Structure 1
């Protein structure tokens, strides 16, 4: 207690001053009582005056902004000023650390893809991050201290928030399109609530696509199986002429082929989705690949269309030959199938300015309405289901093309107009396009050799 000794010394000085004053008064007046009273009064007054001056300095410092140091007096007031200043500095440092930690915590929440809303007891917004503002169409600054139910008026959300039963999350549309939110509320503190939101649009869409996929596969396989089952029962139960039997066997073979094609396409999709991206150093000769596609298309057309499918590109593409062949063949055969007799189908190749390459398949078929184009690459999506089945399509071809192009770093682009035909473009990145060398590689060399021998 360093302040005690100076305090005692100051008290002794006051006593000494009182004694001197008493002696002087007694010598002047001769009154012992008067000298005693004035001596005591002088000592006490001196002590109070010193305390008042030092205490006033400390109070003035406390009333200010405390940026300067506290008064450095000796004794009790100096010690009190030092202790108060140190406590305030410790408090300021603790507050600064708390602010830094809070800012770091809020920054972490801000970076989260989940929405976070903090509500007080009156359901007013205390704080929200950008994800929550986007989910609920809020302004993170302007809407603070606003009642959440005045801003988010979806009846399901208001009922969920006010019911107080938060064991199960609420699934709610965003109100800004087809988006879907999963909302969870947690209580904390005294009547305060935390509203957590997560955009589950992709999850819901994936689940819907999975259900549709299973339903479509079941339907696509059930149809030919039903036909086959009916034919088998007919063959077993009825005496048929050779002509009738041959006709039924032909139809059964067609349905069997349809199921085999469907299963093959499903396996191709599964392989595409589960395989790593093709290496960029395995080159495929485009001209020989297009020759194979053209041969199949000419057999399918049987002279009913004007086909121009053999451009001289002199180009090689980096990728897997079977996948590239599948993508191009799907587009060309679709063009032939959906183009009326007498129509034209053309395949062209061009190098773009940035070094990438574009393979385009153009037909003069019926065309596709604009609202269908964004969904054409979905599995089993058909613009006209009955016509697709008549032409032998499985509804998986364009989905296969899209996956092949994505795996090769390219893009499938579709342009179409009803009554004026369609244009499907395969754009390959520059890293996967080069001019052909002197010798073709792999399977393409064998195909080129057999074609030359013929």
Structure 2
């Protein structure tokens, strides 16, 4: 036999008792009034009944006032539950139970809402609630950043008044959300978003947005990487193939000196390809945001002495190279990356300075900046080329760069290494008067 639910029973018991109490009270009033009427006359009986009803009414009104006053008391003041006789004690108890139940339910809902808000704010994607009129009901932090919104200021504003990108407006108004929309938006910075809209009630829609700008940038880098490698490898591979064909076809006729000459040229081109691949891998790791290393003190004074010796070896005695190192304090950073950047600048100076030229390498502090400078009196660079020198594969003189063994990636590597060390690259050059390349770092990175 099915039992009555507990909550229903708590309601039925007070109501049944109240019904019985009211009937009993009325019966008593009528009995007393009739008795008074029999002994003292009809008027006395009616008066007695009226007085009894008046007293009962006053009692009930007083208890109603108690109940209203208790219900209007702010919950944080925790007013004591009113007490009364008979049925009103049950009424007060029942109202109190219902109030406590509603209060705890509200607390649970508030906690659930707060957890939802925290989870929404932690999401890597944008989240926005829109009404049927496309007004903004709520948006999380990522949505604010992606669409240039302010959650407080823009609440209740049609999103199309703020985000006026034509593709987005058409998509929103079309009502067909079976496929996501990809579009570019320029608030506050140019970015590419993928938007999905999900209706979840008669008049509400959930808008999910994902920023794929970085992914597209990485994909573009990969495409450029393949295209650049194909272009840059074509020439040395053609040369190596041609030399090997010449040697193979003339193996019986060529003198040993000629064979050695052709194989030496092929070896040079193979070395160039090896250096190109190494530079491409280094640059690719830097551009795609390779994980940052743990910063450690780098002995730059020793590092620049090593770079000087490398430059002297590459020069082969054709240049006068000198070093001025006046900073002994270590620099926070990565020794391998700093060596790559500093060596690139020094070797470039050797490559583009005519025989007999002067190259000066220095490591010194100027106020709040510490500088690594490579200065030469070589061929120099025209002003219109300087802004593009750090682009991948950009060469002022392509023929000369290939002759000297350059890959066109050195300065791009330098730029990214300096960026990872909070540094900047300054270039000062003039055709026929030489060049000065300066890597600047904040002096606060020095370890005292």
TM-score, structure 1 length as denominator? 0.73
**Residues 1:92 and 2:119 are matched in the alignment:** no
The answer on whether the counterparts of 2:303 and 2:339 sit within 8 Å (CA) in structure 1 is no
The answer on whether the counterparts of 2:373 and 2:437 sit within 8 Å (CA) in structure 1 is yes
| Equivalent in 47, 53, 58 of residue 47 of structure 1 | 53
> Residues 98 and 352 from structure 1, CA distance in 2 versus in 1: closer, same or farther, beyond 3 angstroms?
farther
How many residues align structurally?
415
Q: Distance in 2 between matches of 1:101 and 1:320?
A: 47
Query: Structure 2: where are the runs of 5+ without partners?
Result: 1-12, 74-78
| Equivalent in 384, 387, 390 of residue 372 of structure 1 | 387
How much has 1:216 moved relative to structure 2? 1.3
| Equivalent in 210, 214, 217 of residue 202 of structure 1 | 214
Aligned positions of 1:2-21 closer than 5 A: 3-4=17-18, 7=22, 10-21=25-36
The answer on whether the counterparts of 2:177 and 2:198 sit within 8 Å (CA) in structure 1 is yes
The answer on whether the counterparts of 2:370 and 2:441 sit within 8 Å (CA) in structure 1 is yes
How much has 1:61 moved relative to structure 2? 4.7
Residue in 1 that maps onto 2:169? 158
| Equivalent in 112, 115, 124 of residue 123 of structure 2 | 112
The answer on whether the counterparts of 1:180 and 1:199 sit within 8 Å (CA) in structure 2 is yes
| Equivalent in 132, 143, 153 of residue 142 of structure 1 | 153
Residue in 2 that maps onto 1:285? 302
How much has 1:128 moved relative to structure 2? 1.0
Residue in 2 that maps onto 1:29? none
Q: Distance in 1 between matches of 2:397 and 2:28?
A: 112
The answer on whether the counterparts of 1:116 and 1:131 sit within 8 Å (CA) in structure 2 is yes
Residue in 2 that maps onto 1:75? 86
TM-score, structure 2 length as denominator? 0.73
> Residues 433 and 340 from structure 1, CA distance in 2 versus in 1: closer, same or farther, beyond 3 angstroms?
farther
* 3-state SS of paired residue (2:381): coil
Residue in 2 that maps onto 1:219? 231
> Residues 323 and 189 from structure 1, CA distance in 2 versus in 1: closer, same or farther, beyond 3 angstroms?
closer
> Residues 157 and 343 from structure 1, CA distance in 2 versus in 1: closer, same or farther, beyond 3 angstroms?
farther
**Residues 1:23 and 2:29 are matched in the alignment:** no
Q: Distance in 1 between matches of 2:179 and 2:102?
A: 42
The answer on whether the counterparts of 1:367 and 1:422 sit within 8 Å (CA) in structure 2 is no
How much has 1:432 moved relative to structure 2? 7.3
Name the stretch that deviates more: 57-66 or 166-175.
57-66
> Residues 192 and 344 from structure 1, CA distance in 2 versus in 1: closer, same or farther, beyond 3 angstroms?
farther
Name the stretch that deviates more: 208-217 or 91-100.
91-100
> Residues 256 and 372 from structure 1, CA distance in 2 versus in 1: closer, same or farther, beyond 3 angstroms?
same
Q: Distance in 2 between matches of 1:155 and 1:210?
A: 30
Query: Structure 1: where are the runs of 5+ without partners?
Result: 27-33, 435-454
Q: Distance in 2 between matches of 1:204 and 1:271?
A: 16
How much has 1:333 moved relative to structure 2? 1.6
**Residues 1:260 and 2:274 are matched in the alignment:** yes
Q: Deviations over 1:201-227 (max 9, x none)?
A: 222211211221122122211222133
**Alignment RMSD:** 4.4
